[in-house]
Amino acid sequence: MAKIIRMKPSAEKIGIGRSTVYDWQNPRSPRYDPSFPKRVKLGRATSGMIEADLDAWITLKAKA
């Protein structure tokens, strides 16, 4: 079963601010990273990330 973690703990897990997460996910941002995991909508104004996807991205960056 996949675990979804909210945006603040997601950002804290990788040591960045939430605004950086949004920049990395925004195709219009110069800091856009297409390899960064996408948000999952949990409600009208709530989102999070699948923890396994975030962990895989961290591993990918660590190997690069």
Burial class of residue 41 (count of CB atoms within 10 Å of its CB; 0-12, 13-18, 19+): exposed
pLDDT tens digits, one per residue of 1-54: 889 999 999 999 999 999 999 999 999 999 999 999 999 999 999 999 999 999
Asked if residue 57 has pLDDT above 90, the reply is yes
Assign 56 a pLDDT band (cuts: 50, 70, 90).
very high
pLDDT at residue number 37: 96
The strand order across the sheet containing 47-50 reads 4-6, 47-50, 40-41
Domain extent listing, the chain: 4-63
Taking the model in full, what pTM does it have? 0.86
Classify residue 48 as left (phi > 0), alpha (psi -120 to 50) or beta. beta
